[in-house]
Structure 1
């Protein structure tokens, strides 16, 4: 196992961001499959001392010990600034935009770091339900810093790849900020994500960001503007997965405006598009969740929004068992919708 492979683990990265040294050692051992004795030689600390740190009887306070542990654990460079980001700073730092504005110059960049950060972000997406967005926030913001620092020496297709990765990180930060009721910062991060997606020529990502903005607007009680934004998300040449997500959001906004016939037609279109791409590798990374189960639940959600209670209950009841693992919040959401639809049917 390579030194940085355990660092793809979201729990370990969250522990590092919090500088919780007891948790860092425990999470690293878990991710690496090591005993305390196995970790002893790696960090140059005796097993009894490691046990004392993990149990809270000893604290890691000196810069020398911190540096020794960090070196022994092979902490990735993109995490070195993670502890500096706090939950007091929800708004995007101005220097992020400036850093990217000075990109696209001729140079050479080692894209292996970017590929690694992309793999880690994919794990964060899946782990958010269990680890929590607040815990991962400083980690993802530090990763975004690392990505944007690569841009000034990058041009062409490599720069476009980095812009997509930056947009994915900004979207994730927007989503977490929205969940924490930080609506202003959520929209600011989303604006950055959309701009970077456009700059990099990534139509799917640009569409997805508009779809999320429509969702925010609909949640905020403005279905007219939500519908307008969702329709904009459908423009251009999109992959079936991205087109499905945009059509589904447009259906929800149409249903909120009482346009039920249109909503049902769009729901059918969204379902058909989603079922064209059953394999995860054929979908954009942020649509990893859009499998057949979720596509059918989305269709049932539109029926629910149209107040077709019997159809909604039937659709959710049939698809919900496929969502039991890995999505506790979504499962709870659809289970509540099912109970309500059954009561109203």
Structure 2
């Protein structure tokens, strides 16, 4: 069998090395390559694969059915892989093992009764109506949608405690359930199904973002935004733009963060006060990243005023804004202070926010404790920094990857530059837990 000339015949999980017909089944265990494939960052996949395998752009193109200029454009980010057929050629040609690539087809969803295993099940009559609505395209009723609303809310809160990884497949299945219900929805319920689909897509986007899968997150946010516009949901339309702004901030792109946060506000003037406050604080964080202190502090003050007003009428806020309160905002103040190297201000705000953060927010707790450790290290308090970091390692390792985990490594680097023993102590602890 000539594997060198027919990429589609390469066994799954097998990879070329050196273009000589040899294979290395361990190539896809490389963390950088796996992370890029999981997030469908095909430019990084191509570059990393070629570096590891020692092959040219032309050779890689032969394996995935692309000409060399197309490979070059994808590597440089000038071209995106949007074709399902091209995507499959890449997966087959590079021998990407099953389970690595994000965004598995929704058609692989389990039947509705399986959802009852992950959340309190409806009564038998309701479960039958849900199943029949999907299998037989019968009409959807309000009780069915109420149950799915409740299921989504419970999964959101579960994700705060257990992290996103255990829930991704469940939520894909649940979204497929909602999409299938659309065929049987009539009148106002049809709009509600679209709105519910938008909320599920936004949650999937957030979980992809939480796992560092940027390409998948952006795709889900775009889908959520489209459905929100179709349903006339100003709150979700604005929220998806704010979350894309958050992604830009996470990637160090302050100007893009500001533009997206501004768009969240002017494009959805009917959004709730809380949603407007989220957009204002995201815009502030973009300005803080760009060291624009006056704009950042002005917008933070504006966001805080919106939060206080929103808290007076919580019934007006969408369900996914349950976390957005003054505790959360105090933590955001601390994050802005980090950008300005106001180490003491950052430590004070983050510590105050953590003291008020419920224990159920385990994933967020790991993230903000890692940021607190960074602030303490930057402020010249290495012993306190290491103590906080050590406390954070278990949760950061279990459910805080990649964000909290990376922040702990940043803290270790700060401490190492300071030359004390604390840096080496933290590095050793991180390596032992890796």
> What's the TM-score once normalised by structure 2's chain length?
0.53
Once the two structures are TM-superposed, the CA of residue 307 in structure 1 deviates from its matched residue by: 2.8
Q: 2:408 corresponds to which residue?
A: none
**Helix, strand or coil at the partner of 2:310:** coil
Q: Which runs of 5+ in 1 are unaligned?
A: 1-84, 97-106
The one-character-per-residue Cα deviations of 1:94-135 (angstroms, maximum 9, x if unpaired) are 999xxxxxxxxxx94213212111101111111114334222
User: Which of 295, 299, 302 lines up with 1:262 in the alignment?
Assistant: 295
Higher Rg of the two aligned structures: 2
Q: Is the 8 A contact 1:268 1:299 kept in 2?
A: no
1:90 aligns with 2:103: yes
Once the two structures are TM-superposed, the CA of residue 273 in structure 1 deviates from its matched residue by: 1.0
1:306–1:160: structure 2 CA closer, same or farther, 3 Å change rule? Answer: farther
**Helix, strand or coil at the partner of 1:275:** helix
Q: Distance in 2 between matches of 1:87 and 1:282?
A: 40
Q: 2:366 corresponds to which residue?
A: 332
Q: 1:310 corresponds to which residue?
A: 344
Q: Distance in 2 between matches of 1:143 and 1:340?
A: 38
1:276 aligns with 2:309: yes
Q: Distance in 2 between matches of 1:176 and 1:258?
A: 29
Q: Is the 8 A contact 2:162 2:363 kept in 1?
A: no
1:324–1:89: structure 2 CA closer, same or farther, 3 Å change rule? Answer: closer
1:174 aligns with 2:213: no
> What's the TM-score once normalised by structure 1's chain length?
0.66
The one-character-per-residue Cα deviations of 1:164-216 (angstroms, maximum 9, x if unpaired) are 21111111111222233322221111111000001101111111100111111
Q: Is the 8 A contact 2:171 2:200 kept in 1?
A: yes
1:171–1:255: structure 2 CA closer, same or farther, 3 Å change rule? Answer: same
1:189 aligns with 2:223: no
Q: Distance in 2 between matches of 1:138 and 1:91?
A: 9
Q: Distance in 2 between matches of 1:139 and 1:94?
A: 13
The one-character-per-residue Cα deviations of 1:206-263 (angstroms, maximum 9, x if unpaired) are 1110011111122223222221111101122221110111111111111111211101
Q: 1:140 corresponds to which residue?
A: 171
The one-character-per-residue Cα deviations of 1:5-46 (angstroms, maximum 9, x if unpaired) are xxxxxxxxxxxxxxxxxxxxxxxxxxxxxxxxxxxxxxxxxx
Once the two structures are TM-superposed, the CA of residue 315 in structure 1 deviates from its matched residue by: 1.9
Q: Is the 8 A contact 2:280 2:303 kept in 1?
A: yes
The one-character-per-residue Cα deviations of 1:303-345 (angstroms, maximum 9, x if unpaired) are 2223333322222232321114111221222223233334434
Pairs aligned (count): 251
1:290 aligns with 2:324: yes
Q: Distance in 2 between matches of 1:223 and 1:108?
A: 47
User: Which of 262, 279, 285 lines up with 1:246 in the alignment?
Assistant: 279
Q: Distance in 1 between matches of 2:351 and 2:167?
A: 33
Once the two structures are TM-superposed, the CA of residue 282 in structure 1 deviates from its matched residue by: 3.8
Q: Hey, which bits of structure 1, 4+ residues long, moved more than 4 A?
A: 85-89, 91-96
Q: Distance in 1 between matches of 2:180 and 2:278?
A: 31
Q: 2:153 corresponds to which residue?
A: 122
1:139–1:263: structure 2 CA closer, same or farther, 3 Å change rule? Answer: same
1:186–1:110: structure 2 CA closer, same or farther, 3 Å change rule? Answer: same
